[in-house]
Amino acid sequence: MSPTLASAPGSCCFGGVKHAGTPVGRIEDLGGLQTYISEPPTFKLATTQKVILYLADVWGPLYLNNQLIQDYFASCGYIVLGPDYFFGNAISNHPPGFDRPTWIVNARKAAFDAFPAWLDAVKAKYGSDTKYCTVGYCFGAPFVMDLCSNGSVVAGALAHPAFLEERHFEKLAGPLILSCAEEDHTFPHASRRRAEDIMVARKCTYYFQVFSGVKHGFAVKGDPDVEMEREWPYLIP
């Protein structure tokens, strides 16, 4: 088996601060998955459609924080699509102390089984000539790496990833941005360095950034009352 670099979500992935705001997107069925769709304002529409596939953490794309992030990307000129590969069974629907390991195993299988049909439906709706990018947070990271390895997207981005192995970086083909927390038990310093070493050896196109003073999950569930947690996520490309 390929050595693990980013492990499974831990306790910090199941907590965090809920943000405030009003989502502006809508929810539609795409390929059998409820999908959060956020579109750019008319004046931001480009001649060539640009689509971001938003692959959420364990809280799912319909969680308020994730909806607001998707709306922000849309305000920059992208059509943003967030598939609910948790089928309405994201972490927010479970009480504290539930069986997280079993939930993760079942959720991963269901998500990976459903994702190909969803991606086919996206390509059918938005066209094969559209420029597709993808961003994944924690749970969504391996989907990004697979898409960046098989030519499905023109570029990908990760924030505090989980479930990554060396093989993901050994197969990487497209450009990749990695936005990481200084303190991250899931993707610690040694693993980040190993991932970088693999990408350097393979001459991949990548951009690595590590944000000081924050922990795993900062890009989705950071505390707006803490300056470092409030400011850094908006610097993530």
- Segment 76-92, tens digit of pLDDT: 999 999 999 999 999 98
Nearest Cα neighbor of 128 from 118, 116, 119, 141 is 119
Length of the chain: 237
Catalytic choice (13, 138, 148, 204): 138
Based on the residue annotation, tell me whether 216 is a catalytic residue of this protein: yes
State yes or no: is 185 an active-site residue: no
Identify which has the larger pLDDT, 186 or 44: 186
Q: Which of 133, 148, 204, 216 is catalytic?
A: 216
What's the pLDDT tens digit per position in 185-226? 999 999 999 999 999 999 999 999 999 989 999 999 988 888
pTM summary value = 0.95
Residue 204 annotated as catalytic: no
* Pair 163, 182: CB distance under 8 Å: no
pLDDT confidence of residue 233:
56
Q: Label residue 232 by pLDDT band (50, 70, 90).
A: low
Radius of gyration of the chain (CA): 17
**Selected catalytic residue, list 148, 160, 184, 204:** 184
